[in-house]
Amino acid sequence: MSEFNSLENAASSLGDGGLGPDEDYETVREFVDALVDTGNTDKVFAYHDDHLSLKDSLSEDVLNMAIDEADEMLENAEPEQSELEDQLKRILDEANTIIPLSKKELSEDDLDDIKEDLESRGIDPDD
Distance of alpha carbon 39 from alpha carbon 41, whole angstroms: 6
| Residue 66 pLDDT | 97
Q: Which domain holds residue 100?
A: 7-120
Residue 125 in domain: no
In this predicted model, what pLDDT tens digit does every residue of 25-67 receive, in sequence order?
999 999 999 999 999 988 888 888 888 899 999 999 999 999 9
Distance of alpha carbon 114 from alpha carbon 111, whole angstroms: 5
What is the value of pTM for the model shown? Answer: 0.82
Specify the DSSP class assigned to residue 78. Answer: -
H-type alpha helices, 7-107:
7-15, 28-39, 42-45, 60-63, 67-75, 83-103
Residue 2 in domain: no
Residue 57 in domain: yes
**Cα dist. 122→53, 63, 118 in Å?**
21, 33, 6
More confident call, 123 vs 4 = 4
3-state secondary structure of 86: helix
Instruction: Report how many domains make up the chain.
Output: 1
Residue 1 in domain: no
Residue 45 in domain: yes
Residue 27 in domain: yes
| Residue 77 pLDDT | 78
Residue 50 in domain: yes
Whether residue 71 has pLDDT greater than 50: yes
